[in-house]
A and B are shown apart, each in its own frame.
Chain A
């Protein structure tokens, strides 16, 4: 259950330090993101991160792990996730083999004591995060996808950082993991869970901030194109779409434009590459109609094309 000899980075002492640290590993945090991450490392409280899909909630956890030089343990939630998949499970097969191997000569008592040992325990993400000797970053992704029962089970883990196993007793953490829970807000989480967390709302970034992010991930993209790109993305987000483009999609688009060697985003390039940022048939119609036409109007009449 140990993670080898990793040496975690020193605990940061100000939110500015966290901001710089996250920057250095390629994540550009907003002011509140840096502050809340700092508080999380300092107080050891879990952070509930909410926001629309694709604004970098999961990425934040990865960046924190890189910055703090800790292992990232990820628990992806889904409907029907249960304790056996999240906490621990007994390794039935191994237990069975042991019983078969020993049944003849040892008594039941001895075998029973034997088969409920750590050797037969399969640690799942929450368990490994708590039992780890080195501090880790634990990411509980899309907590809103699970059932309320699972949330209730998490409470013990999140408030005391311990897990009770009936046969073995309590396993408590020796180090405080940094815990991030993400939610797309598809369901209201229980008060009890929220109570135990710090709250961070991540939204689509402001224009300049997104420009910075795009430039970080596609440094070769010409300045003017990058500027234009974030403006267009902003326009697209204003529309009533099924799935507005996220930061991840802006970055993909920037890379696509880079590959195509585009020098400007005109109607033609836009229509050709639109599928990178818009992922629904109906959305594409809306975007082509509204944004495509606007681009055409802005361009010189010579190369304006009907959308």
Chain B
């Protein structure tokens, strides 16, 4: 996380810590200032998609009355507790908070014409560095990143800009400059075995601190840009990359697992809900009689036999052909999660023909091992590598046609691109009518459906199709399941 603007940068006595310190110094006028700033912050959060309502802002004002403003940590935490109501929101909040107060401080600095010497002086002093000294600096930076030393990293970021940034006076585009400096420093997350053993870069640097260091470089470059031009650049909305939680594939996997766990609950309770709660419950005479003893033999409370939730049976077909390569990791993680959640489930992967992979998922826990095994010996990567849906349906009918019954749920994960072959929708119709419910999860944006060789329309009349390639959309799919008209029970 990029650290807040550093007061050392500014000459003492100037109004540098933004409106906040002003506010604590001279009461009435500044209170208005803070209110305006806070509203502006709320506005920016809204622009980034955080649901900040008026009530949240009122809460924010209420909490600020209760805490001292001198401690930045408390100030930030208190605002976060009222404005950001989920982990994702919290992440966006941190970014917007930093950006907002950074800009507020810079704006104050510009309007007061504060000048700083720090960086320029350092540049002059460092211009004549020899190659060995540069190497020492590289090592020092790498070591600081490896240890995750916040303060050292910030100082060294400034030094790095002075040394490597000044050489070509920068490209003017901050993102490009950051990457150029990173390359010049030889900082990489991957191990670099060609380096000598004592070099901290040899084992690869931790991704998280590397990201923090880049953020510091960016911040310093922005600061010097503001200083050069004497005004603020236009505010940049957060990109998807900034917004994404710093997560590996494992965290994504966890998110998919969470959504699928909901799916299981929905599927398990669905039948009951659509039937109405008690309509088909059977009165348990014995228990009713026993209960009636307490009320003098009058059966006041009817006791019902508990309804056993029926065990959902799931069949999943997953496309692993080249046209869905980008989505297949997602698909496989969905499969993985489904297997975790459901006992009675069979899964198939297909390209040209289908191949059952239930065993693979039941034996292996490790996601990586699973994807390797499926790509190597599931026996689907043969022949042409083009999907043949017609053949897939006929093989599916052959293999599980007799097993399908109205209580079964069939989920197809695929893009419905037939490569010009016959879609054989009539076969799919047979499969879909035998299964109780059929869902199609298509990894393509709805816009591209039915263009080119996509034949989703032919299948869609027999099933409910969803656009699905992110966890959020998977969640939408799960939510849609509860709406009865989308999930007809027969």
Contact = CB atoms under 8 A, between A and B. Distances in A.
A187 interface: yes
B73 interface: yes
The 5 A-B pairs of least Cβ separation, nearest first, read A194-B85, A282-B365, A199-B85, A32-B77, A198-B81
B74 A15 contact: yes
A40 to B, nearest CB: 9
B130 interface: no
Given A35-B67, A39-B63, A93 B85 contact: no
Interface string B79-103: 0111011110010000000000000
Contacts of A31: 73-74, 77
B384 interface: no
Given A31-B73, A35-B74, A36-B81, A195 B63 contact: no
Interface stretch (B294-302, B348-356, B418-426): B294-302
A38 B66 contact: yes
Interface in A174-213: 185-188, 191, 194-201
Contacts of A32: 77, 80-81
Interface residues of A, number: 37
B235 to A, nearest CB: 25
A195 B58 CA distance: 11
B444 interface: no
Interface in A236-278: 240, 242
B85 A286 contact: no
B140 to A, nearest CB: 25
Interface in A115-164: none
B59 interface: yes
B450 to A, nearest CB: 32
Contact of B294 (A15, A50, A93, A282): A93
Nearest to A35: B77
Interface residues of B, number: 40
A45 interface: yes
B365 A43 contact: no
A216 to B, nearest CB: 23
Nearest to A282: B365
B1 interface: no
Contacts of B68: 14
Nearest to B479: A188
B258 interface: yes
Contact of A199 (B62, B84, B340): B84
B171 interface: no
Contact of A35 (B81, B84, B87, B365): B81
A43 B61 CA distance: 11
Interface string B345-380: 000000000000000000001110000000000000
Given A196-B55, A286-B366, 5 more contacts: A15-B74, A31-B73, A32-B81, A38-B67, A96-B298
Contacts of A92: 295, 300-301
Nearest to A36: B81
A100 B475 CA distance: 54
Contacts of B63: 39, 43, 198
Contacts of A198: 59, 63, 81-82
A185 B295 CA distance: 42
A92 B80 CA distance: 47
A14 B81 CA distance: 16
A248 to B, nearest CB: 20
Interface of A: 14-15, 31-32, 35-36, 38-39, 42-43, 45, 48, 50, 79, 92-93, 96, 100, 185-188, 191, 194-201, 240, 242, 282-283, 285-286
A45 B62 CA distance: 11
Given A35-B67, A195-B55, A200 B62 contact: no
Contacts of A15: 67, 74
B416 interface: no
A188 B265 CA distance: 14
Nearest to B75: A35
A36 B77 contact: yes
Contact of A50 (B87, B298, B301): B87
A198 B90 CA distance: 12
Nearest to B56: A195
B232 interface: no
Contacts of B56: 195
Contact of B261 (A186, A201, A282): A186
Contacts of B340: 242
A237 B121 CA distance: 46
A224 B435 CA distance: 60
Nearest to A30: B77
Contact of A240 (B74, B84, B87, B366): B366
B113 interface: no
Contacts of A100: 296
A155 to B, nearest CB: 12
Contacts of A194: 85-86
B255 to A, nearest CB: 10
B63, B68, B340 — most chain A CB neighbours (10 Å):
B63
